[in-house]
Amino acid sequence: MSLLRSTFIGLSRNARLRHFAEQSSLGRRMSSRFVAGFRIEDALVAANQLAAQGLAVTLDSLGENVTTPEQARQSAQVYHWLLDKIDPAQLNANVSLKLTQMGMDLGPDVAGGIVSGLVDHAVQTNSFVRVDMEGTEYTQATIDLVRQLHAKPDNRGHVGVVIQAYLRRSADDIARLLSDRIRIRLCKGAYREPPDLAFPEKKDVDANFVALTKTLLKSGVFHGIATHDPAMIDATKEFARTEHIDPASFEFQMLYGVRRDLQRSLVKEGYKVRIYVPFGDEWYPYFMRRLAERPANVLFLARNFFRK
């Protein structure tokens, strides 16, 4: 992992900087590059604008690592409101959440109870709950919880998980999840992990991403291939073409504000594309992970700031 990447990921966990940034008007302005706004209404406006360009969305109410059951319940309440609003708005939208935002640090039962209520709600509104993947201290517990929720017959197809190609364990995890026919979002992985758990070299992460994409595409389950990397996207298209896999049987997923040109060109080519739309006050850790992925974004933001 590069020094810059590692530094930004380290800064993403700095509580004092976080407090300062989230309160400052400069910070809030900068965040708008990757965050759709601070309120549910802002996220819905963004979702409608994206829908007009042929893009589906998944809505993420930002927040992670809550410390009380009350905070966890409040975080879940935002998702209940979202699920209520998505349905009548007839948006091609679902929701993405983090287990640590639902109380995972207080115990798997706390998070499990809360997320189970959200999945029930998604079943009633014919929607879908994607459980994002966080650092490796949560990998096993996240997979266990999603499998447990998905085992309830009504929930099938209404809850899915994320797998990170940088983890050495991911091929095994995917095999188990596919035996339950669970929908997977494949991404490279955004946290700082030790080399015994995660491939340190980009070329190995990329090779694993392509190998895992092939497994997912062949599985007959609807999955999300989440990347902005043109090489990963080309490999996915190429594999689908040579294996005669219907492009409608999977979707590409990208982050709000990242490679908008690529998002639009994929839609034009006829691929399904879903945009991850984060919103809310607690944008700092998410924002810093985006800078970590591409430190050139720091220069980009600075240039735009001084231009204003």
Instruction: State which of positions 128-167 bind ligand FAD (CB under 6 A).
Output: 132-133, 162, 164
Stretch that binds ligand FAD, among 39-47, 75-83, 85-93, 220-228 (CB under 6 A): 220-228
The one-letter amino acid code at 263 reads: Q
What is the rounded distance in angstroms from the CA atom of residue 150 to the CA atom of residue 157? 8
What is the rounded distance in angstroms from the CA atom of residue 40 to the CA atom of residue 86? 11
By CB under 6 A, tell whether 214 contacts ligand FAD: no
Secondary structure element (H or E) that encloses residue 199, with its range: none
Q: In the complex with ligand FAD, which residue's Cβ is closer, 8 or 85?
A: 8
Q: Which of 240, 255, 266, 288 binds ligand FAD (CB under 6 A)?
A: 255
Q: Which of 63, 189, 278, 280 binds ligand FAD (CB under 6 A)?
A: 189
CA 16 remoteness from chain centre: 25
Provide the minimum distance between the beta carbon of 300 and ligand FAD in the complex, in angstroms, as a whole number. Answer: 8
Long-range pairs of 17-25 with CB within 8 A, sequence gap ≥ 24: 17/284, 18/284, 18/285, 21/284, 21/287, 22/281, 22/282, 22/283, 22/284
Provide the minimum distance between the beta carbon of 166 and ligand FAD in the complex, in angstroms, as a whole number. Answer: 8
Stretch that binds ligand FAD, among 22-30, 45-53, 118-126, 250-258 (CB under 6 A): 250-258
What is the rounded distance in angstroms from the CA atom of residue 38 to the CA atom of residue 16? 20
Instruction: Return phi, psi of residue 190, to 5°.
Output: -120, 10
Contact 291, 73 (CB under 8 A): no
What is the rounded distance in angstroms from the CA atom of residue 275 to the CA atom of residue 263? 8
By CB under 6 A, tell whether 254 contacts ligand FAD: yes
By CB under 6 A, tell whether 190 contacts ligand FAD: yes
By CB under 6 A, tell whether 228 contacts ligand FAD: yes
Q: Which residue has the tokens 């930004």?
A: 8
Instruction: State which of positions 28-57 bind ligand FAD (CB under 6 A).
Output: none
Catalytic residues: 132, 185
Contact footprint for ligand FAD (CB under 6 A): 132-133, 162, 164, 185, 187-191, 226-229, 232, 253-255, 258-259, 276, 290, 293-294, 297
